[in-house]
A and B are shown apart, each in its own frame.
Chain A
Amino acid sequence: MSVLVIIEHDNQNIKNSSLNTITAAKEIDNSVHAVVLGENCSKVSEQVSKCDGIEEVFVADDLIYKNHIAENISPKIVELADKYSHILAPSSTFGKNIMPRVAALLDVAQISDIVSIENKDTFVRPIYAGNANLKLQSTDTKKIITVRTTNFEATKINGGNGKITKIEKNEDPNLSKFVKNELNKSDRPELTAAGIIISGGRGMESGKNFNLLEEIADKLKAAVGASRAAVDAGFVPNDYQVGQTGKVVAPELYIAVGISGAIQHLAGMKDSKIIVAINKDEEAPIFQIADYGIVGDLFKILPELSKEIDKINS
């Protein structure tokens, strides 16, 4: 049986998270289908059909799908589920919101946040904030899975020629109504897709001081992240949070500034290729996983770092 991927998108473009999820689907089976539920989302379905390895894309285009409300989307996925052995979505807030609902409606377990695929029914996922890895076997006939995107390469949006099939919308369950969203617009790369991330913690002392990080981020084309303490203190918005309960990232370079390195923070960034820590406390646990550490006052170090980067950029 084929694998179905639930596409995450913003009605304009496919999200990177879906491209990683398609790669995971291809590891499970050669036959991969996708479904796009959205409003005025024809551009998204075209992108998906071009993704390497996609055989067929189902699209339901209707206002009820515009805001990705879980109650509206799940019945459609359940309707399509018959033909599939596995249904995958990214382990983003989009996928986490929808997939357990789908699983419960199908009366099967849901498998969260897989980092590797052993075979069609055996998967590995981190537990206890990444302090242990669980290899599990699913005994259900259908596997409803969310995928940790940092563990799978992104599929390219070319080479594919999937058939696009329009499908009907389901009835509006009328359970949750969208009121508004406050999305943070930024010209910097998305955290979960960035090659370089510079994150600040409580040591930054204020939101204004994040300018020091932003200046460096712009020179390195990096994304800016934060610890929970920095978000809780109101220095930066919630979507900056990296960690067990925030975003999981694995860039080529992660620079942690004024972050102590609590396990809940490490859970979100320890798989980064190179980790740099800047902290005035030489005992800070972040140094135990840092490839390069500098002990010192970040307010002195950051301006110097900015200048040194100018030198290599020029």
Chain B
Amino acid sequence: MKILVPVKRVIDYNVKVKVKSDNTGVDLENVKMAMNPFDEIAVEEAVRLKEKKVCDEITAISIGSSKSEETLRTALAVGADKGILVETQEEAQPLEVAKILMEIINKNKPDLVLMGKQAIDDDSNQTGQMLSALLNWPQGTFASKLEVKGKSLNVTREIDGGLETLNMDLPAIITTDLRLNEPRYASLPNIMKAKQKPIEKITPKDLNIEIKQRLKTLKVTEPDKKEAGIKVDSVEELVSKLHNEEKVI
């Protein structure tokens, strides 16, 4: 079985995000970047399937600037076999990302696509669902458990009321939630080995895809800041404030 894992380079989740003073976006200059945490979980799941001999080849793919090669190297260091970099300076929105992935999938014919449920920069939570619509494949979104059995799989999904399990045939799209697994760190020897693994470089043009800004950014602003309040010394004082002043209890 072949698995494709899309990975996105995003601002590190620990970084305090600052809005640019001209309100065109957030400041990404000299900020620590990393693989989107949900994609790390997707890579980890693919590697575990490979360790169980369910999968024999993992391809990681990233769409973005040349720096996204670092993100691909991270995936290769954790256990992906090869990478594809679709290089573009323009920011691809989810529908275009899904179209690029579809073209790649039509060529490479993976049996399973494992991808993050959302990227922590735009928080869209769309690409997996869009991709499965374009391919007319089943979708198992927000996965917290995955069991592959031959040509089908059971996926447990985190939904608002609890958990739901679906069964679907391969090929399928799975999007990962936080509790699917705990990603490992790459070891130093594996980081070294990853430098030798192949990365194919193409552009959206090679795939006949034009990147459109269907959603135009008009303005990016900082949310209203909430001022820190007061510390109270006793529970009695707290309850009195909430009851008598705020009237919320």
| A interface residues with partner B (beta carbon < 8 Å) | 67, 69-71, 74, 92-94, 96-105, 107-113, 122, 126-140, 173, 175-184, 192, 196, 220, 228, 231-232, 237-239, 244-245, 247, 252-253, 263-264, 270, 273-276, 282, 287-295, 301, 304-305, 308-309, 311-312
Is the pair B178, A232 in contact by a Cβ cutoff of 8 Å? yes
Question: Contact between B17 and A122 (Cβ–Cβ < 8 Å)?
Answer: no
Q: Which residues of B contact A244 (CB under 8 A)?
A: 120, 123
Whether the Cβ atoms of B239 and A101 lie closer than 8 Å is no
User: In the complex, what residues of B have CB within 8 A of residue A180's CB?
Assistant: 164-165
11 pairs, A vs B, C-beta closer than 8 Å? A70-B139, A104-B98, A109-B93, A127-B122, A136-B218, A182-B164, A184-B161, A245-B178, A263-B16, A274-B248, A311-B239
CA of A96 to CA of B34, assembled, Å: 25
Q: Are A132 and B246 in contact (CB under 8 A)?
A: no
Residues in chain A near residue B64, CB distance under 8 A: none
Stretch of B1-9, B53-61, B152-160, B189-197 lying at the A interface: B152-160
Is there contact, CB below 8 Å, between A112 and B139? no
State A211–B61 Cα separation when bound (angstroms).
46
Residues of B within 8 A of A (CB): 11, 13, 16-17, 19, 26, 93-95, 98, 117-118, 120-134, 136-142, 144, 154, 157-168, 177-179, 213-223, 226, 228-236, 238-239, 241-243, 246, 248-249
Q: How far is the CB of A80 from chain B (nearest CB, A)?
A: 16
Cβ-defined partner of B121 (8 Å) among A128, A237, A290, A312: A128
Contacting pair A289 B228 (CB below 8 A): yes
Decide: B235 and A127 in contact? CB cutoff 8 A.
no
Q: Known contacts A105-B133, A137-B215, A308-B235: does B141 contact A175 (CB below 8 Å)? A: no
Q: Which residue of B lies closest to A220 (CB)?
A: B249
Given contacts A101-B130, A177-B167, A289-B226, contact A110 B220 (CB under 8 A): no
Given A96-B125, A112-B123: A291 and B239 within 8 A (CB)?
no
**Chief secondary structure at chain B's binding surface:** mixed
Inter-chain contacts of A103 with B (CB < 8 A): 95, 126, 130
A312 with B160: CB separation less than 8 A: no
- Interfacial chain A residues near B128, Cβ < 8 Å: 100
Since A70-B129, A175-B139, A239-B160 are in contact, a sample of 12 more A-B pairs with Cβ atoms closer than 8 Å, ordered by chain A residue number, is A105-B133, A109-B93, A122-B218, A175-B138, A176-B168, A178-B167, A181-B163, A183-B162, A263-B16, A274-B242, A274-B246, A311-B239
- Flag if B95 contacts A293 (CB, 8 Å): no
CA distance A302 to B107 in the complex (A): 59
Given contacts A196-B248, A276-B242, contact A182 B163 (CB under 8 A): yes
Whether A139 touches B132, Cβ cut-off 8 Å, given contacts A220-B249, A232-B179, is: no
From A67, A107, A130, A292, contact of B241 by CB (8 A): A292
The 4 closest A-B pairs by CB, nearest first: A291-B229, A100-B129, A104-B130, A100-B126
Asked if residues A135 and B218 are in contact (CB atoms below 8 Å), the reply is yes
Residues of A within 8 A of B226 (CB): 270, 275, 289
Q: B13's contact among A112, A122, A252, A264, by CB below 8 Å, is which?
A: A264
Of the listed residues A126, A220, A245, A304, the one surrounded by the most CB atoms of chain B closer than 10 A to its CB is A245
Once the chains bind, are B168 and A175 in contact (CB under 8 Å)? yes
| Closest beta carbon of chain B to A190's beta carbon, Å | 9
Q: Is the beta-carbon distance between A177 and B94 smaller than 8 angstroms? A: no
- The answer to whether B163 and A126 have CB atoms under 8 Å apart is no
Q: How far is the CA of A305 from the CA of B141 in the complex (A)?
A: 40
A305 CA / B164 CA spacing, docked (Å): 36
| B231 and A294 form a contact (CB under 8 A) | yes
